[in-house]
Amino acid sequence: MPFTPVLHSEWLKIRTLRSLVVGLGAVVLVTAAFSALAGLDNAGDEGQEADFDPLFSAFFGVSFGQIAAITFGAQAMSAEFQGGALRLSLAAVPRRGRWFAAKMTAVGIPALAVGLLTGVVTLAVGRAVLGDRASAMSWAEGLRGAVGCGIYLALMALFAAGLTALLRSGVATLSILIPFLLLVSFVVGDMSGNAADLLPDRAGQVVLHETWDGLLGPWTGLAVTAVWTSAALLAGSWSVHRRDA
């Protein structure tokens, strides 16, 4: 079967599963909501002006919105391991590499589209909430943050999907990634110095900072996250090829 109809069938799976559509919507809502709360807090803080980063304040909610993104990626892939769905998919598309590529494309494209929408909405919300304090953020920095936000969220969704293909369980994937993103990454970052800059979340979020003193810049940070995502996708592809459906 050619790639295009395979991709179409995988997109239909995602579009018709309500939990996945809700998960994509949650990416926008959660990110914008937490960014608004952070902006309100910073708007009332007249101290520590030297440490104030208006760009990161505007995009603070990405730290929480990424949980919705990885949940979408994990659920999209884990649905194949329920009720023999993967067996049926591979019966229709015997070439496992083609099927896996279509699956990841069907995950990545909507994740990127929603991520870019999230970036635009969050930037608008952040500027509105910060008020005059947003003037320290240039429009070029805001555009970089919005685009970087979209790319980062898409990469994290694909990272979760690849890991789910390897572990064959969305629950296992989320049990690893959620504590890591919310707790472990920060603890490791405080203890390991610049080495933590190479972790997938910390590297990718450099693009959301106005300035950064670590090893990576905005786009090199996203490149590091892309390397982590590529490794997860390669491992997931290997698992699909080598293990029984």
Interval 26-57: pLDDT, tens: 999 999 999 999 877 765 554 456 678 889 99
Mean pLDDT of the chain: 90
The whole-angstrom separation of Cα 220 and Cα 120 is 22
User: What is the predicted pLDDT for the residue at 195?
Assistant: 73
**Per-residue pLDDT tens for 195-244?**
778 899 999 999 999 888 878 899 999 999 999 999 999 999 999 988 76
* Residue closest to 42 by CA, chosen among 31, 58, 29: 58
Alpha-carbon dihedral 40, 45, 49, 50, rounded to 10 degrees: -90
Residue 186 has pLDDT above 90, yes or no: no
Mean pLDDT of 168-176: 95
Mean pLDDT of 153-165: 98
Q: Quick one: three-class SS letters along 43-81?
A: HCCCCCHHHCCHHHHHCCCHHHHHHHHHHHHHHHHHHHH
**Per-residue pLDDT tens for 103-118?**
999 999 999 999 999 9
Mean pLDDT of 137-148: 93
Enclosing domain of residue 128: 3-242
Q: Considering the chain, what percentage of its residues have pLDDT values greater than 90?
A: 67
User: What is the predicted pLDDT for the residue at 7?
Assistant: 94
User: Greater confidence, 86 or 41?
Assistant: 86
Mean pLDDT of 145-160: 97
Residues in contact with 133: Cβ distance below 8 Å, sequence separation at least 6, in sequence order: 42, 43, 52, 54
Angle, alpha carbons 116-122-124 (nearest 5°): 110
User: Greater confidence, 83 or 32?
Assistant: 32
Residue 188 has pLDDT above 60, yes or no: yes
Helix boundaries (H) for 93-217: 96-130, 139-167, 170-179, 185-192, 200-204
Mean pLDDT of 2-12: 92
**Structural domain count of the chain:** 1
